[in-house]
Amino acid sequence: MSFQPREFNRDSGPSGGPDREVVSGEEIRRRVQAMIDNDPMLRECGKRVIAPMPKPRASETPTGCNWHMHYRGQFPDCEDRIDMIVEIVQQEVNIGGPVATLLS
């Protein structure tokens, strides 16, 4: 499965509506990693950038995204480009949490 970088536009894309796909944390990590691996600017960075697992947020952001990634400080020369890639994926998907069932 391959994910190609798309045109980035902060004003486009779903904002937490029903169009946002719900996927696992591992799927989000794979999507971000594929875009990082395919990005020519990050290949020139001189460091192997490994996408971390996304972390659920306590609540959704105003844009409707319910996850973020912790990598700040690890790739100082590449972080702006990684931010852009993470934002693209955040426009497309939300992380699905574990299904909680209550037994009465």
Handedness of CA 31, 37, 41, 47 (dihedral sign): positive
pTM over 0.85: no
Question: DSSP string of 26-84?
Answer: HHHHHHHHHHHHH-HHHHTTSS---PPPPEE-SS--TTS--EE---TTT-TTTHHHHHH
pLDDT per position as a tens digit, 17-72: 447 899 999 999 999 999 999 999 998 888 888 999 999 987 767 778 999 998 87
Domain map (residue ranges) of the chain: 21-95
